[in-house]
Amino acid sequence: MKSELFKKAESMLKFSYSPYSHFCVGAALLCTDGTIYTGCNIENAAYGPSNCAERTAIFKAVSEGKKDFVAIAIVGGKNGVIEDFCPPCGVCRQVLAEFCKKDFLILLKDKKNQVKEFTLEQLLPESFSL
Confidence of residue 128 (pLDDT cuts 50, 70, 90): confident
Q: What is the pLDDT of residue 125?
A: 85
pLDDT tens for 17-43 read 999 999 999 999 999 999 999 999 999
DSSP-assigned states of every residue in 42-91: B--TTSTT-B-HHHHHHHHHHHTT---EEEEEEEEEETT---S-----HH
Length of the chain measured in residues? 130
**Set 54, 83, 98, 121: catalytic member:** 54
Query: Could you give the CA distance from residue 17 to residue 55 in angstroms, rounded to a whole number?
Result: 14
Query: Could you give the CA distance from residue 5 to residue 72 in angstroms, rounded to a whole number?
Result: 7
Q: Which residues pair with 37 in a beta bridge?
A: 29
pLDDT tens for 106-123 read 999 999 999 999 999 999
CA dihedral 37, 97, 124, 70 (to 10 degrees): -40
Q: What is the pLDDT of residue 68?
A: 96
Give catalytic status of residue 43 as yes or no: no
Query: Could you give the CA distance from residue 108 to residue 72 in angstroms, rounded to a whole number?
Result: 9
